Chains A and B, each alone.
Chain A
Amino acid sequence: MTSLHRDPQLLVGDETPWHAAAVPSLVIDRLGAVEAANARSRELLPAALPGAPIADTAPGWLSGTSPVSGVLGDRVFTAHPVRLPDGGTCWWLIDDTDVTAARSDLDRARARTEFLTEASDELLGSLNLQRCMEIAARLAVRHLADAAWVVGPGEPQPVVVATADVLQHDLLDHPPEDVLGLREALLGFPPVPSRWLDPSGVPRWLVPEGFGEVGSVVVTPLPGHAVATGALILLRRPASPRFSGEDEGAARLFAARVGVAMSAARMFAQQASVTDTLTRELLPPVLHQLPGVEMAARYRPASDTDRVGGDFYDVHPSDTEDGESLVVLGDVCGKGLEAAVLTGRIRSTLRALLPMAADHLRMLQLLNSALLSTEHTRFATMVLGSVSRHHADVRLRLTSAGHLPPLVVRGDGRVEEVPTRGSLVGAMTEIEAESAEVVLGPGDTCVLYTDGITEARGGPFGTDFFGEDRLRRTLAECAGMPADALVERVQMVAAEWAGRSPSDDLAVLAITAPRGQHLTAVGGHGPGRYTA
C-alpha cells in the first residue's frame, strides 16, 4: 500500500483529481482486494469499498492483464488495466454503451442500404412483370424472410412463391380474405400499413410445401405509381428472429421499390400492346404469293428503335388466276413514325383504288389529289406494277411516279433499266407518268428498290455512296437467283456498305419468273404439269 501513496496527488483520497475523474477507476492490490475506488466507480460498484475482495464487488469479466469488455448494469464498458509497480492493477472503465450501439446501428443501416441498392439495381433491370416478381421474391428470401409470396396485379392474380431453394409461378386460386389484411393490401386504398399476423391463424395454403412450422408472418402492400400493384407476404420459421420494427421498416422500403418496378413493368406491357395494335397496319406485309410468280421483299427501317418507316410495299393479288395483280413499292419523304403514318394512308388509299388498277396514271392522279387534300406536307415517290403470267413468262406493266427506275436482271446477267418516268405524288396538282412494259422470261427478275439502297453511304473508305452502278454490278452477280435469295443479297451488300448505321430506310422487292422447276413448286399446281 505504501507505493500507492508515493504520489498522493494522483491517487487515493477524496480530494485527488483521480477521485474526481469522470471515468470510473479502481485499484486492486496484487492479492485481489479493492485498494481504492474513485467516486464514479463507487456509483457503479457500490460494494467496492477498500479491503473488499474484488470477486465480491465486481463482475467476473473484470480480470486479466489486457483490456476486456462487459456489461455493468445496463451499460457496456471496456476496462483498461494499468499495472502498478507494486503488483496491483489500476482499472479504468470506459463506458462504450453508446459507441457500441451506434456501431451496430451503423452496421445494420449499411446492410439495409446495401440490400436496398441491390434490390433497386436488380428490379430496375427488368420491365417484365413476371421477372420483376421473381426478382422481388428472390431478394425477399435472401434478406428478409424464410419464404416470400409476391402477389401481382391482374385477374386472376399472378403469384410467385419462393423459399431459399424453390421458386414457383402460380395464380392466386384462394380468396385473399383467408389472409388477414391481404385484401386491403391488394386494394391499395385506403393505404394500410404492414400487418403482423398470428402464425396460428394463417391458412395452410399460404405455407409452402415442406416449409414446416411458421414462426411469424407479415403482409405488406406494394404501392406502385399511386395504384395498388400487389402485396408481399413474408414468412419466418420459429427458429428465425421474429419480425422487429426495424425489419418491418426495411420491408416497407423494399416493398416501395418492388411496387414501383412492378407498376412500371405493367405500364410498359400495356403501352407496348397499344403501340403494337396501332402500328400493326404500318408494318411491312407478308407478301401474297401469286401463282407462277416468285416475289420477295425485305425492309429495314433506318433507326434501330423504329419498327416502321417511310418505305412501303404491298402486293394485291388479282381475283382471277389470269388477271393482273398489283405490286407497289414506294418511299415517303422523311423517316420514322410520322412518315410511317403517311405510308399507311397511301397504302389504304391504293387499296381502295384497286378497281382501277388497270390505269396506273388514273390511280396516281386520284392518290395525288387525296394526298393534296390532307394536311400532310410530305410527298411520296413510288412504282406501280401490274403483274400477270403468260405461260412460263411474267408480264409487267410498270409506272414510276418520281421513283428510282426499276431494274431487270436477265438470266444471263444483263441488267436493264425499265424506261418509265413520272412525277412524284403529293406535291403538285397536275401529275403525269409514262408506263413501260417488260416481259420476264424464266429466270429473269425485276427489282424495285428505294433510295436507301443507292444512297447508302459508306464502303471501305466510309465516304462513298453505294450508287446505281454498284447496285447493277451486284444484281449482275445475282442472275438466276430465286427472288428471296436475290433480295437478301441486295440488302446485305447495301447494308454492309452502309456499315453499322444505315442512314435511311432500305426496301427491296423482287418479282421473278421462276425457272421451270420452281413453277410447279411455287405455283402449287402439283407435280406433272410442267415436268411430265
Chain B
Amino acid sequence: MSAPTTAEADTAEPGDQHTRLWNAVVAGDARAATDTVLAALAAGLEPESVLLDLIGGVQRRVGQEWAAARIDVAQEHTATAINDRVITAVSLAAPPVEPHRGRVTVACVDGEWHALPARLLAEVLTLRGFAVDFLGAQVPTPHLVEHLHRTGPEAVALSGSLAPRLPTAHATINACTATGTPVLAGGAAFGVDGAYARLLGAHWAPDARAAADLLAAGSLARPEPPGQAVDQLPHLADQEYTMITLTRGELVKAVYTGLEEQLPAMRSYTEDQRERTAEDLAHIVDFLCAALYTDADAVFGDFLEWTADVLGVRGVPRRAVLPGLDLLATELREFPRARRILDAGRARLAPEPGPTARTERAAEAS
C-alpha cells in the first residue's frame, strides 16, 4: 500500500483518521501511523487534538480491545510503542512554542508502566507554553525529589493507572508537597472522580486537557507540609495494611494451596496456567491492600468487576473468582477491615445471591 496522499487526508473524517491510525499501530506499521498523524496535522487538525483525540483515542482503544480479548499482549505493546513514536513525530512537526509559562514536572508513579498518558500530557503542556520536564515511567521517588530540588517546578503532574500503586503514589505526593510543590494527579488509579487523589493530598484532573487548564490557571493551592502517613490516614493505625502487605507471598501461597485442594480441575493445569492463577491471586491481594490503604471498598470492588469482565470475554465465568475470595476471607478472619472489603467485593460479583450461592454458603458454614 502506498502512503496516503494529501488529497486523501484532506477529505478524511475524524473517524477515518482513527481507523487508519488504529490499523497502523496494531500492525506495527510505524510509517503508516506517522503518515496518518502528519496528514491530520496538515489537514489543519490542532496538534493538541491530534495528540489527545486521535492518538489518545487510539490508545484508549488499545486498552479496551485488550480487555475485550480482541488483541493480544504483543499487539498491545507494539501498538503502544508505535503510538510513542508517533507522538515524537507530532512534536517534531507541530509549530514550536517558546516556553512562556511556568515549569512543570510530569512523571509516573514509580512502578507504573503506562507512560503514554503522561507523555501525552507532557506534549500538550509543551504546546501550551510550559517548560516541561518529562521524567517518564519507572522514576524512583528519590530521583523525582532530587529533580524537584534542582529545578523547583511550579507543580508536579503525577500519572498512575493502577490502584496497587496508590501507597507508592502517596509517598511520592508527600515527598513533593514536603518541598512545597503541589501535585496534580491523574489516571485511573486515583478513581473516576479523583477521590483517592484528594485523600492522598493531591489535586486532581479528569484528563490531560483539564490538567493543562488547571495548570494554566495557576490556581493550585500551595500544599501544607505533610504529616505522617498515619495522621493523614488514621485507619492505618490498625496495621492491617502493614501486616497483609508484609505477608503477601505467604498469603497468596496459602490461598493457592487451598484452591488446589478444593478444585480438582486445577491438578490438570499446565505450569503456565498454574502461574497465571497464582498471579491472579497476587493481583487480588494487591488490590485488597490498596483498598486497605485508602479504606475504600470500591478500590477492591471495581477491580473485581473489571477482572470478572476480562475473564468473562475469555470464557471464564464471573463466579470463578469467588472460591479464591472465600479462601482469602478465611485466611484473613482476624482482620475486620479486610473482611469488610472482601464482603463488599463479593457482593458486587453476586449482587443477588441465587440458590447456588446460598447452597455454597451453607456448605461453608457446615
A residues touching B (Cβ–Cβ < 8 Å)?
121-122, 125-131, 135, 265, 268-269, 272, 300, 304-305, 307, 459-463, 473, 477-482, 484-486, 488-489, 492, 495, 500, 515, 517-518, 520-522, 527, 531
In the complex, how many residue pairs between chain A and chain B have their CB atoms under 8 Å apart? Answer: 128
- Once A304-B140, A462-B249, A521-B34 are accepted as A-B contacts, the answer to whether A135 and B180 lie under 8 Å apart by CB is yes
> B78 at interface (Cβ–Cβ under 8 A)?
yes
B150 touching A269, Cβ below 8 Å: yes
B295 smallest CB distance to A (angstroms): 21
Given A515-B28, A527-B3, check contact A489 B73 (CB 8 Å): yes
Are the C-beta atoms of A481 and B256 separated by less than 8 Å?
no
CB of A125 within 8 A of CB of B180, answer: yes
Hey, which chain B residues are within 8 Å of A462, CB to CB? 248-250, 252
| Contacts A/B (CB < 8 Å), 13 sampled | A126-B149, A128-B179, A459-B278, A461-B253, A463-B249, A477-B74, A481-B77, A482-B28, A484-B84, A488-B81, A517-B28, A527-B3, A531-B2
| Chain A residue, CB-CB nearest to B84 | A484
A485 touches which one: B78, B146, B281 (CB < 8 A)?
A: B78
Q: Does B341 make an interface contact (CB < 8 A)?
A: no
Distance in angstroms from A402 CB to nearest chain B CB is 28
| A307 contact set on B, CB distance < 8 A | 143
Please tell me the size bucket of the interface on B: 35 or more
- A482 pairs with B82, CB closer than 8 A: yes
The answer to whether A128 and B148 have CB atoms under 8 Å apart is: yes
A482 and B30 contact, CB distance less than 8 A: yes
**Are A125 and B179 in contact (CB-based, < 8 A)?**
yes
Contact of A131 among B152, B225, B250 (CB under 8 A): B152
Q: When the two chains form their complex, are residues A304 and B142 in contact, meaning their CB atoms are under 8 A apart?
A: yes
Q: Is B66 an interface residue (CB 8 A)?
A: no
Give CA–CA (A432, B252) in the complex, Å: 46
- Chain B residues near A515: list those with CB within 8 A: 28
Asked if B152 and A272 make an inter-chain contact with CB atoms under 8 angstroms apart, the answer reads no
Smallest beta-carbon distance B134→chain A, Å: 15
Beyond A305-B140, A485-B77, A517-B28: 16 further Cβ-contacts under 8 Å?
A122-B225, A128-B148, A272-B150, A304-B140, A305-B142, A307-B143, A459-B278, A460-B249, A462-B252, A477-B72, A480-B74, A482-B78, A485-B81, A492-B113, A495-B111, A517-B32
Query: Residue of A at shortest CB range from B111?
Result: A500
Q: Which of A265, A461, A473, A518 has the most CB of B within 10 A?
A: A461
Q: Quick one: which of B28, B31, B282 contacts A480, CB cutoff 8 A?
A: B28
Q: Chain B residues near A489 (CB, 8 Å)?
A: 73-74, 77
Name the residue on B nearest A474 (C-beta).
B73
Inter-subunit contact A488/B77 (CB<8 Å):
yes
Q: Which residues of B contact A265 (CB under 8 A)?
A: 149
- Known contacts A488-B81, A517-B29; A477/B73 CB under 8 A: yes
